[in-house]
Structure 1
């Protein structure tokens, strides 16, 4: 089956080679007979009609023009029909199937007119006259017209089928390109999602661990019990971070046995704030208003991650003894988040070149829910992050 398909593909692609081989065979069959009969004029006419068939599919307009020109010369010389006249229906078919529309209509009209010219020439050169002669001439004309119309109709049907196949191939190619682009977009979106999750997990955990390690180092000599508490916090934070990383990597491996747990939501804020307070960050938390409806789980995760990232930045940039204020306000259109501090602000520790992944991740997260985010230093010192997440109306 594969060999047959390969042969078919070769014939379909190599039009000129196939047509040239067929033309050579026709010339060998229909040409030498006139040389043997010592009629060189008919030999040249027959070859002149057959040779253009080598280009009947690659250059149908040129091939049909050559055949029409040879037929006119044959008519002008009053030469009798030759075996090479088989090229006429073949070139009509090829032009209708592979040539432009105007060439297809032209060869159809030329074939019909040529039938009249041929029968008129034959009728005028014979001794027959009267009703019988007109009847025979009309019959010949109708037969030639039928041959021309059948050849042109088959060629036009071939054209329609070829255009349909070409349209299907183009559609398939476009679908493949679109699917490839969709896969690339999905992969890029998934990479961004993974980068945000890993940044939130690693940056938060490492900030707590670094803060506690510094505190334990300074307290080890004066107050060993504080160092012990700091080391316990470091161990707990490290275990939680390791569990989150294992969960994330397990999902990436598509391992059904990988442990998973629900993503954090606003109801888990108390645990989050407790962890920051254990890391010696002073936090004032305030929540006001009544939610008109529940936010989607993804929107609550976005709010949770924004608070987590903002407080992590406070620990990293605000300096010692900074106080952070977290405010959640339920409004008529959605949830307003405000996280600010009274420390040095981000200007004291500018991000490295190409950095700012935390703020960029916040913006990417909140844009998925048509929200807004602003972040910047506060006049007089400190830094503020404000975000608004609207309700997703059905």
Structure 2
């Protein structure tokens, strides 16, 4: 755009300048054409190289002073370049161009009024009016350019701010997605690991029992079927949350009241479990905290079934104290020696992460004399 408009303006000025110098000598005409070219051609690069264009145009106007009182149509490039430098030039270049414009207005005034055929004094009133008029043109051009510059910088700042907000939104979305992936991984581990452990244990028992007593195998397979259905319901609930299905997503999550059912399922799987309950709650735990307690007991019993071995006795103790809920799961099996944290230990790791969300503590360690113990503490959420 700058090249096209600058080229058009240059050709127009060259034609008018050549017409003005038609009655002059060839040298004078060529000189005027050259000066006009210097004053207009740089406009074709006024935004790509504004400072270089300003210097060339300034030089062209200085050379024009040799022709006292001469006015060329190419002098319109002065307010154009003053405006351009105010918008796109560096700050010091903008003010320098403004100074060039004022000095040029003064020199142009002297050139017009102090020519050889002029009877004006050194600095008359008419000269002052001329200087003020030319300087005002320069100043107004620079002012409009400076306003455009401030608007451009403001728009750029707003665009940068919008870009930063967009980047922050993307980062927050990625963090939320990562957190949700961890949450889903914990839920999947709790559902799948517990249910499959029970199903595998019962299936193995049914296979051996079927040799001697087929009726035992039938009861055992019923337990496998019930456990599979319960796991399927949990999976559907979890997938329903991912699909934003309100009817499925709003189904109640497991709470402390469901822990006895969890213990009963473990007993059905062949584990001897004693369940104890002490104290009374001073206030209710949040729904998420109760789900965390449920998942902690589920994970601990799953580890007992997987790692403790046969003829194992376990105990689940829930104790309400003044500061919150204490949960203890102990067993006398061989799990302390055989626990290898399959799958990078996501079970115990997930349990610790869940409990930490509610400012609780979680520890898992071998017992003195054999067995394993898991201790969980979930404090009240004090206002």
TM-score normalized with structure 1 length = 0.89
Deviations 1:187-209 (A, max 9, x none): 22222222211211111111111
Aligned to 1:124: 114
Instruction: Check if 1:347 corresponds to 2:330.
Output: no
Counterpart among 375, 385, 392 of residue 364 in structure 2: 375
Instruction: Check if 1:165 corresponds to 2:155.
Output: yes
Structure 2 stretches lacking a partner, 5+ long? none
Correspondence list, 1:1-394, <5 A: 18-36=1-19, 37=22, 38=26, 39-75=29-65, 78=68, 80-125=70-115, 126-130=117-121, 134-256=124-246, 258=248, 261-352=251-342, 354-394=343-383
2:54 aligns to what SS in structure 1?
helix
2:369 and 2:114 mapped to 1: Cα distance? 113
The change in CA–CA distance for 1:346 and 1:81 in structure 2 (over 3 A counts) is farther
1:219 and 1:124 mapped to 2: Cα distance? 125
The 8 Å contact of residues 42 and 79 in structure 1, kept in 2 or not, is answered as: no
1:165 and 1:138 mapped to 2: Cα distance? 40
Deviations 1:92-115 (A, max 9, x none): 000001111111111112211221
Matched residue count? 375
The 8 Å contact of residues 362 and 377 in structure 2, kept in 1 or not, is answered as: yes
TM-score normalized with structure 2 length = 0.91
1:283 aligns to what SS in structure 2?
strand
For the aligned residues, what is the CA RMSD?
Answer: 2.1
Query: Which stretch has the larger CA shift, 93-102 or 290-299?
Result: 290-299
The change in CA–CA distance for 1:65 and 1:290 in structure 2 (over 3 A counts) is farther
| Residue 300 of structure 1: how far off its partner (Å) | 0.5
Structure 1 stretches lacking a partner, 5+ long? 1-17
2:341 and 2:284 mapped to 1: Cα distance? 36
| Residue 251 of structure 1: how far off its partner (Å) | 2.6
The 8 Å contact of residues 297 and 329 in structure 2, kept in 1 or not, is answered as: yes
The change in CA–CA distance for 1:69 and 1:371 in structure 2 (over 3 A counts) is farther
| Residue 76 of structure 1: how far off its partner (Å) | 5.6
Query: Which stretch has the larger CA shift, 151-160 or 365-374?
Result: 365-374
1:160 and 1:33 mapped to 2: Cα distance? 37
| Residue 65 of structure 1: how far off its partner (Å) | 2.1
Deviations 1:219-252 (A, max 9, x none): 2334444333322211211111111222222332
| Residue 260 of structure 1: how far off its partner (Å) | 5.3
| Residue 89 of structure 1: how far off its partner (Å) | 0.4
